[in-house]
Amino acid sequence: MTADAVVVRARADGRVDLEFANASQCAACAGTCLWKRLQSARLERLAAGSGLVPGTAVTVSLPERSLLRASILLHGVPLAAILLGAAAGAAATGSDAGTLIGALVGLIAAIAGFRGLSRRLEQATLSHLLITPKS
Please give the average pLDDT of every successive group of 10 residues along the chain, which has 135 residues. Answer: 79 78 57 50 66 79 80 86 96 94 94 79 76 76
Look at residue 133 and tell me if it is in a domain: no
Closest CA to 105 of 74, 91, 120, 84: 84
Q: Supply the range of the domain harboring residue 83.
A: 64-127
Look at residue 97 and tell me if it is in a domain: yes
pLDDT of residue 22: 64
Whether residues 38 and 86 share a domain: the answer is no
CB 22 within 8 A of CB 38: yes
CA 33, 34, 38: angle at the middle one, nearest 5? 140
Looking at 26, 61, 96, which one is the last position of a domain? 61
Sheet arrangement for strand 15-21 = 41-47, 15-21, 2-10, 57-61, 130-133
Task: Tally the domains of the chain.
Answer: 2
